Amino acid sequence: MSTLRLDRVSRWFGNVVAVNDVSMTIGPGVTGLLGPNGAGKSTLIALMSGFLAPSTGTVDLDGEPLWRNEQVYRSVGLVPEREALFEYLTGRQFVVANAELHGLADPGAAAAASIALVEMSDAQDRTIATYSKGMRQRIKMASSLVHDPTVLLLDEPFNGMDPRQRIHLMELLRTMGAEGRTVLFSSHILEEVEQVARQIEVVVAGRHAASGDFGAIRRLMTDRPNRFVLRTDDDRSMASALLAHPSVRGARLRDEGGVEVEASDFGRFSEALPRLARDNRVRLLEVTPTDESLESVFAYLVSA
């Protein structure tokens, strides 16, 4: 059982702040690191894997520093995002080399077991240059699991995987988490994260925006004010009917036509809208959420 701890960590590159005063504790089980592209997820993973020094604050694994401490790699496995591998090796040669570098007693057996775990046994004797994106991802995974680490860090592991590979990797991560390993993976897709991770850490623009199980994160997202644009055959009647309803915080007639609505309770609003329209004899032509993009959800989380 291992615990990664970040204490008031900031990291900047010149004038750019990539990680801003982040404190988090990553314990056993699967944790998802969720955030839009450029939020600082890769920087955080580099900090957690000893490949970057924090500008301020501390990062440690069970009390041991990660920076300039190669001994931590006995218990840490890292799956980097970059695809570059030793192209001229076969998959098996690559994983065996990783096992040897870890000083394992039987590198061949450890490599074979690890390759079987990621279902790459059939392609293990082809050179890596011939691998598809998904296969590269899996052979990287095999190389980082070969020494049976207690901590596994994966940077955007689902990128470039087809649905079947995705399901398989999710299953694998769940198993590793259930075995008591500390597994952390980054992603910019909420659905991906909540299918695997028990615990979710949200980062936006370098800040730790939210933390909790997926239920808590979902609630934060659904309980927020929702904005919609309605197109109707009688905007003014619709707007006044909406304003009278308690689930609505505001309604505004737009210059270009249509009603802009801000709902405070998404559940009740979605039930009330069709009823209000029918009761007031207004035809609803179109209902468009205006801020469903992930960025706006994150923006909300940050300001909350």
Binding site for other proteins (CB under 8 A): 13, 18, 38, 40, 42-43, 46, 49-53, 67-68, 70-74, 76-78, 80, 82, 84-86, 88-89, 97-98, 100-103, 143-144
Q: Nearer Cβ to other proteins, position 24 or 46?
A: 46
CB of 165 to other proteins, least distance (A): 21
Q: What is the DSSP letter of 263?
A: E
CB of 186 to other proteins, least distance (A): 12
To which residue do tokens 């096992």 refer?
A: 99
Q: Nearer Cβ to other proteins, position 160 or 250?
A: 160
Q: Nearer Cβ to other proteins, position 106 or 213?
A: 106
Q: Nearer Cβ to other proteins, position 112 or 259?
A: 112
CB of 44 to other proteins, least distance (A): 10
Residue 70: how many CB atoms within 10 A of its CB? 8
**What number of residues does the chain have?**
304
Confirm if 177 and 104 have CB atoms less than 8 A apart. no
Strand-pair category, 226-232 with 29-34: unpaired
Which of 68, 304, 73 lies closest to 204, judged by CA?
304
CB of 71 to other proteins, least distance (A): 5
CB-count burial class (<10 Å; 0-12, 13-18, 19+) for 55: middle
Q: Nearer Cβ to other proteins, position 148 or 235?
A: 148
Cα dist. 235→3, 253, 258 in Å? 56, 7, 6
CB of 50 to other proteins, least distance (A): 8
Cα dist. 16→13, 39, 55, 182, 204 in Å? 5, 12, 12, 30, 14
Q: Nearer Cβ to other proteins, position 73 or 214?
A: 73
Q: Nearer Cβ to other proteins, position 103 or 163?
A: 103
CB of 31 to other proteins, least distance (A): 19
Provide the Cα torsion 27, 31, 34, 38; round to 10°: 60
CB of 22 to other proteins, least distance (A): 15
Q: Nearer Cβ to other proteins, position 13 or 278?
A: 13
Burial profile 224-241: b = 16 or more Cβ within 10 angstroms, e = fewer? bbbbbbbbbeebebbbeb
Residue 293, SS3? coil
Q: What are phi and psi of 187, to 5 degrees?
A: -165, 155
Strand-pair category, 151-154 with 182-187: parallel
Q: Nearer Cβ to other proteins, position 97 or 229?
A: 97
CB of 75 to other proteins, least distance (A): 9
CB of 200 to other proteins, least distance (A): 21
Distance of alpha carbon 189 from alpha carbon 133, whole angstroms: 19
